[in-house]
Amino acid sequence: MALKANLKKSVDPCHDFYAFACGGWEASHKLPDDKDWLTRSTSDSNAVTYASDLFKACIDEETRNTRGMIPLIEALKSVGGWPIMGQSGGYNETKFDWKDAFVKQFVKYGVSSIYSLSVFPDSSDTLVNRLYFDSDQFVLNYPAIPQPNDNKQYENPDSARAYKEFILQTALLLGATNDSQTRKDVDNIFLYEEALARNKQYENPDSARAYKEFILQTALLLGATNDSQTRKDVDNIFLYEEALARTKLN
């Protein structure tokens, strides 16, 4: 009887089988009044819109092949350009401001370079969000970087060469000239990032203190005694984790 009630016998199943099979059910199950609001709320969501745009751009190979590097070059110009590209890069040494470039690339494209900006719940009150300003991650891995005053080579020299070649080929695709000056610029880019990565370890003491305080407060919540021994244990935990982070696992 239930299946029979779901049918809409006035419809010819040869013309519209769905209406014939489900028309009765639709008539007896009206959509809620807030259906339009729910649909609009979902369709207007920024996350859904961005995901949809990203998917469409991902599968639109024809447009990507037609435009080539133009969108990337325009994006670089909008944040101050890249001097290695020469005239096509839009770089002007007298007008370039690295702080302005950093803000633009973060606001417009969500890309951080030397520094990172993020929002996380406060470690002592998860109902409150905090803005965190810290050093960013680099392609070069700190434990694998030799110190400036020793004679050690990179643990994996092939990866260092491959990274410099990647920078070079990217620059050439964007219009740089394949000459000795460009290769010198690539070497300087590599050395500059190497120096930044080497000096990254806790150059911001506030982040280290905040992390140790987080460990301490967690321990106290779990029943630890707030005394000098507990704080010493926290320091040891921090130093142990720091040592692990500096160690390259084979």
What distance in Å separates the CA atoms of residue 27 and residue 164, rounded to the nearest whole number?
67
Closest CA to 84 of 182, 180, 190: 182
Whole-prediction pTM value?
Answer: 0.55
| Average pLDDT score over residue span 133-152 | 59
| Average pLDDT score over residue span 68-78 | 90
Q: From its phi and psi, is residue 109 left (phi > 0), alpha (psi between -120 and 50) or beta?
A: alpha
For residue 41, name the pLDDT band (cuts at 50, 70, 90): low
Write down the residue that tokens 């006035």 correspond to.
10
Closest CA to 75 of 35, 105, 45: 105
More confident residue, 186 or 41: 186
Does position 250 have pLDDT exceeding 60, yes or no?
Answer: no
Q: Return the H-helix or E-strand segment holding 166.
A: helix 157-173
Cα angle 86-90-91, degrees, rounded to a multiple of 5: 75
Q: Which of 49-63, 107-121, 144-158, 175-189 has the highest mean pLDDT?
A: 175-189
| Average pLDDT score over residue span 33-40 | 61
Quick one: pLDDT at residue 11?
85
Q: Where are the domains positioned within the chain?
A: 68-135, 142-199, 207-249
Quick one: pLDDT at residue 124?
73
